[in-house]
């Protein structure tokens, strides 16, 4: 009897001990089954019951497995139907997609319509392009259609009006009325020179020609290089051709009497022009250093002319070129010219120089260059292109701006005034006398009101080196090595190309028919 009671007490104690644990395990298992970490349940239970006796662990693990299995079964039954329905719906959709015919592949089509682009050319001209793409027929048809692939080239430019008032002129040259106190009175009675309109007509004509030939166009800078051209007349009757512009550089000229030796790269240059429009008879027997370079070109041309491989067209051009070079040599042997590196002179378009218009300047007329508070005496020494104004010798350019060179203008803005006195040239041309030029320019300025207080004409210094005696030696009969190199392309200087072509027609290429 006692044994029975003892056994019952043990069972009750075991129940009391196992009851709370059972419920704890039950609820923990339910909570964790809904998470993605059911494995952690087991590890957690092991940790919780790690202190229990070894004999109780198998029972707890077994209970945990049964609870987990029951929960999984209940959840599977609850959501299984929904998952099955979703799978059937997905299968049906895939079947419909598979049964639907594939859409045809559309080939890429070029964008139709205009495509516009805007950029600025190296010449400073804004360049607007528009490419219009449309639909056409088959390629073999469009290849024969003149209208299938066309280009339209439209160039627009505005011709400027001349500056006519003192305020307009002073906007570019602020001190000019202080330097020339008589200028306000001159401007009141001034008229616009017809050469202003003619200059810009020449520019427009050149642009039209070059545009039609797809040649390089005038830069925007060179198109608008002249602010005004006015005709003044003082109370004393002195006429003035007034030009407001920039200044480009001229680096031409030669004179054996004053400069017997010149750099070899100039002597052999195909681009250097040994002549200026202003020239006078030679005073000494000292040869012009440019003669030898031109004689070498003649020798090279004769050698090519004698070659059997030279085409007939090329031979015709060579004969004309030899005659041109011979005439130039004869001129250099009999006359001397200004040298831009040493002599102060300006350049005027040749069509103005050739005109009999009363205010039109001529070669040898005296001039005064006005810039940045200074006045420089000069003469009209050479003729230039009909579509360009505002050019001065390298000597003047370096005085205006020490950084000037044959490739770098001294003044790019329209701030340089040119006062030219038509009909003021000397009766005979002679070697430059800078002090005489200065005195004559001062007299002419006096006739139009003189110079302002504190201003004076620049005084030019003679920069020529001491004379050097050079013996004139004729060019060798045989072709020199340098000429052979030029003919074979081993030298960049073409010995046959003169500084100024005889005509606008280009020479035929070597070997052309």
pLDDT digits (tens, 9 = 90+) for 163-217: 999 999 999 999 999 999 999 999 999 999 999 999 999 999 999 888 888 778 8
Distance CA 266, CA 290 (A): 8
Terminal Cα-to-Cα distance of the chain (whole angstroms): 144
Highest mean pLDDT range out of 86-100, 298-312, 490-504? 298-312
pLDDT per position as a tens digit, 8-65: 555 554 544 555 455 544 555 555 455 554 555 455 555 555 544 444 445 666 666 6
131 forms beta bridges with: 115
User: Closest Cα to residue 241, out of 410, 368, 343?
Assistant: 368
- Helix orientation angle between 57-99 and 2-33, rounded to the nearest 10 degrees: 30
What is the C-alpha separation between 211 and 270, in angstroms, rounded? 28
Task: Give residue limits of the domains in the chain.
Answer: 2-99, 107-244+343-462, 252-339
pTM score over 0.85: no
DSSP codes of every residue in 237-294: --EEEEEEEEEEEE--B--TTT-----HHHHT-SS-----S-EEE--SSPPPTHHHHH
Please state which of the ranges 101-105, 164-168, 422-426 shows the lowest mean pLDDT. Answer: 101-105
The number of residues making up the chain comes to 513
Q: How far apart are CA 368 and CA 404, in angstroms?
A: 19
* Inter-CA distances, 388 with 27, 30, 384, 433, Å: 104, 101, 7, 28
CB 330 within 8 A of CB 348: no
Tokens representing 228 are 């005004």
Whether residue 368 is predicted with pLDDT greater than 70 in this model: the reply is yes
Task: Show the CA angle centred on residue 347, arms to residues 171 and 219, nearest 5°.
Answer: 65
For the segment 435-452, the average pLDDT, to the nearest whole number, is 97
- C-beta separation of 229 from 192 below 8 A: yes
371 falls in which pLDDT band (50, 70, 90)? very high
pLDDT at 76: 61
pLDDT value at residue 149: 86
Residues 6+ apart with CB under 8 A from 361: 241, 348, 352, 353, 367, 380, 420, 422
Instruction: Identify the helix (H) or strand (E) that includes residue 228.
Output: strand 226-233
> What value does the mean pLDDT take over residues 270-290?
95
Computed over every residue of the chain, the mean pLDDT equals 81
What percentage of the chain carries pLDDT values higher than 70? 70
470 vs 436, residue with greater confidence: 436
**How do strand 391-393 and strand 345-349 relate by DSSP bridges?**
antiparallel
d(CA 304, CA 309): 9
| Helix spans in 145-214 (H) | 166-170, 176-179, 183-188, 194-212
- Is the Cα torsion angle 413, 338, 439, 423 positive or negative in sign? negative
Dihedral of CA 352/355/361/365: which sign? positive
For residue 482, how many other CB atoms are within 10 A of its CB?
17
**Whole-angstrom Cα distance, residue 276 to residue 350?**
12
User: How much is the pLDDT for 124?
Assistant: 78
Distance (Å, whole) CA 20 – CA 126? 93
Is the CB of residue 229 less than 8 Å from the CB of residue 193? yes
Taking a C-beta distance cutoff of 8 angstroms, is the pair 32, 41 a contact? Answer: yes
Q: Which residues contact 122 (CB under 8 A, 6 or more apart)?
A: none
Instruction: Work out the angle at residue 501's Cα, subtended by the Cα atoms of residues 499 and 506, and round it to the nearest 5 degrees.
Output: 125
**Nearest in space to 378 (alpha carbons), one of 404, 346, 410:** 346
């Amino acid at each position: 009897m006692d044994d029975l009671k003892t056994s019952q007490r043990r069972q009750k104690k075991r129940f009391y001990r196992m009851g709370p644990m059972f419920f704890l395990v039950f609820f923990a298992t339910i909570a964790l089954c809904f998470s993605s970490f059911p494995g952690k349940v087991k590890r957690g239970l092991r940790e919780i019951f790690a202190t229990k006796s070894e004999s109780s662990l198998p029972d707890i693990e077994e209970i945990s497995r049964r609870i987990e299995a029951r929960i999984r079964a209940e959840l599977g039954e609850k959501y299984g139907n929904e998952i099955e329905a979703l799978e059937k719906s997905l299968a049906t959709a895939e079947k419909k997609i598979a049964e639907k015919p594939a859409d045809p592949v559309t080939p890429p089509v070029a964008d139709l319509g205009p495509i516009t682009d805007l950029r600025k050319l190296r010449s400073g001209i804004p360049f607007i392009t528009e490419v219009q793409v449309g639909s056409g027929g088959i390629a073999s048809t469009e290849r024969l259609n003149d209208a299938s692939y066309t280009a339209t080239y439209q160039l627009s430019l505005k011709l400027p009006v001349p500056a006519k008032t003192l305020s307009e002129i002073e906007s570019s040259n602020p001190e000019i009325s202080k330097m020339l106190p008589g200028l306000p009175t001159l401007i009141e009675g001034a008229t616009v020179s017809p050469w202003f309109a003619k200059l810009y007509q020449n520019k427009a004509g050149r642009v039209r020609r070059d545009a039609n030939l797809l040649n390089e166009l005038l830069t925007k800078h060179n198109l608008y290089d002249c602010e005004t051209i006015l005709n003044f007349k003082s109370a004393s009757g002195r006429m003035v051709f007034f030009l407001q512009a920039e200044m480009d550089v001229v680096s031409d000229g030669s004179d054996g009497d004053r400069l017997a030796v010149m750099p070899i790269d100039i002597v052999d240059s195909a681009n250097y022009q040994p002549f200026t429009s202003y020239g006078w008879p030679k005073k000494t027997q000292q040869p012009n250093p440019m003669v030898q370079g031109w004689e070498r070109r003649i020798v090279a041309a004769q050698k090519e002319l004698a070659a059997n491989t030279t085409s007939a067209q090329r031979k015709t051009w060579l004969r004309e070129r030899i005659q041109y070079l011979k005439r130039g040599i004869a001129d250099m042997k009999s006359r001397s010219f200004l040298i831009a590196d040493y002599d102060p002179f300006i350049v005027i378009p040749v069509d103005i120089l050739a005109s009999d218009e009363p205010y039109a300047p001529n070669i040898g007329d005296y001039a005064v260059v006005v810039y940045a508070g200074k006045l420089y005496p000069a003469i009209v020494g050479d003729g230039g292109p009909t579509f360009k104004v505002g050019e001065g010798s390298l000597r003047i350019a370096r005085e205006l701006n020490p950084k000037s060179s044959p490739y770098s203008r001294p003044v790019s803005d329209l701030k340089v005034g040119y006062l030219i006195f038509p009909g003021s040239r000397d009766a005979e041309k002679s070697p430059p006398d800078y002090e005489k030029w200065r005195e004559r320019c001062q007299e002419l300025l006096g006739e139009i009101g003189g110079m302002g207080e504190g201003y004076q004409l620049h005084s030019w210094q003679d920069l020529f080196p001491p004379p050097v005696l050079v013996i004139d030696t004729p060019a060798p009969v045989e072709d020199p090595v340098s000429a052979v190199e030029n003919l074979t392309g081993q030298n960049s200087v073409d010995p046959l190309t003169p500084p100024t072509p005889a005509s606008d027609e280009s020479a035929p290429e070597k070997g052309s028919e």
